[in-house]
Amino acid sequence: MIKILLFFIFAFLGWMTEVSYTYIDSKNYVNAGVLNGPICPIYGVGLMLILIFIYPQKNFMLVFFEIMLTATFVELITGIILEMIFKKKWWDYSDKPFNFKGYICLKYSIMWGIGGLLMCYIIFPVILNASNYFWSLPIIIPNLITSIIIILFLIDLTETALTVLKLRKHFYELDKIAANLKVISNDISSKLVKNIENVEIRTTEIKEDIEFISENKPAVDLMLKNYKNEKYRELDRIKDKYNKLLKANMFNLPRHKRLLNAFPNLKREHSRLKEFIEKAKTDIR
């Protein structure tokens, strides 16, 4: 139970760090975490690993590099797992130098190392002393408080998981709509080009027969018209599906909106898909 409570304390400190950093960077308060509550589990995991395997050590530089590697590894694995589940990157460092596939980058690895040093040499001793005092109280008190925190965490985790699954479904629908629109656009373009090429080839083969184009043009035009009408009917079906998705207003629900605000890369991806779909709807016509 002691280590569980420490995990939540570290997760809360991580949440405070993320919120403070986001506020300094954007001058806006954002609940910068996956969960609704004031904790970031990734920080809890990372700091517990540091506490168990690295703290305490006297070699300053060794501690720095060990913390940097540990935190970077946790961030990498978390990023990969989230993308596997959600099919989208929750954060993306692709624009930062010395990054690995957008999951991690040197800048933040160094920041993790510096932050970890502060934890090891300043904050850990204070927290561990406070923890020892807290657990010296009658055992029912720390056990009850820790149990309540665990229950609240599990409720939040379940609720967030359901929200993420719904958000994932809607991203999937947007991806599917965008892909279908692209296929329709490409089909119409390629069909038009193919028929023009056929006419050009046929015209070259029988240059003497100038009447070929005029005789066959109505048939070609009719074929293209029928083909386009078929694709436009398919386009209308896709539009209806997209409009229903917008009417559901899922991306403006408070929980979904919070996740998009907390992870700007998801928000940018959502905006990109919507812009592409809106543009494709008009361009194809």
Residues 13 and 107 both lie in one domain: yes
For residue 98, being part of any structural domain is answered with: yes
Q: Which residue has the higher pLDDT, 164 or 134?
A: 134
Q: What percentage of the chain carries pLDDT values higher than 70? A: 64
Number of domains composing the chain: 2
Comparing CA positions, the residue from 154, 163, 156, 177 lying closest to residue 266 is 163
- Flag the least confident range among 140-149, 198-207, 256-265: 198-207
pLDDT at 265: 65
pLDDT at 270: 61
Residues 15 and 117 both lie in one domain: yes
4 pLDDT exceeds 70?
yes
For residue 145, being part of any structural domain is answered with: no
Average pLDDT, the chain: 79
Residues 125 and 221 both lie in one domain: no
pLDDT at 21: 85
Tokens 């993320």 correspond to 18
For residue 156, being part of any structural domain is answered with: no
Residues 128 and 39 both lie in one domain: yes
For residue 150, being part of any structural domain is answered with: no
The phi-psi region of residue 273 (left if phi > 0; otherwise alpha if psi is between -120 and 50; otherwise beta) is: alpha
Domain termination site, one of 136, 152, 175: 136
Residue 229 to residue 249: CA distance in whole angstroms: 30
Phi, psi for residue 161 in degrees, rounded to 5: -60, -40
Long-range contacts (CB closer than 8 Å, 24 or more residues apart) made by 168-175: 168/85, 168/86, 168/87, 170/245, 170/248, 170/250, 170/251, 170/256, 171/86, 171/87, 171/88, 171/269, 171/270, 171/273, 172/87, 173/241, 173/245, 174/245, 174/270, 174/273, 174/274, 174/277, 175/87, 175/273
65 pLDDT exceeds 80?
yes
Of the pLDDT bands very low, low, confident and very high (cuts 50, 70, 90), residue 113 is: very high
Of the pLDDT bands very low, low, confident and very high (cuts 50, 70, 90), residue 119 is: very high
For 155-167, what is each residue's pLDDT tens digit? Answer: 999 988 888 787 7
195 pLDDT exceeds 90?
no
C-beta separation of 154 from 100 below 8 A: no
Residues 120 and 227 both lie in one domain: no
For residue 159, being part of any structural domain is answered with: no
pLDDT at 249: 56
Mean pLDDT of all residues in 29-58 = 88
Residues 36 and 118 both lie in one domain: yes
pLDDT at 198: 53
Residues 184 and 125 both lie in one domain: no
Mean pLDDT of all residues in 103-131 = 94
197 pLDDT exceeds 70?
no
Domain termination site, one of 136, 157, 180: 136
Phi, psi for residue 249 in degrees, rounded to 5: 55, 30
For residue 246, being part of any structural domain is answered with: yes
Domain limits at 215? 165-284
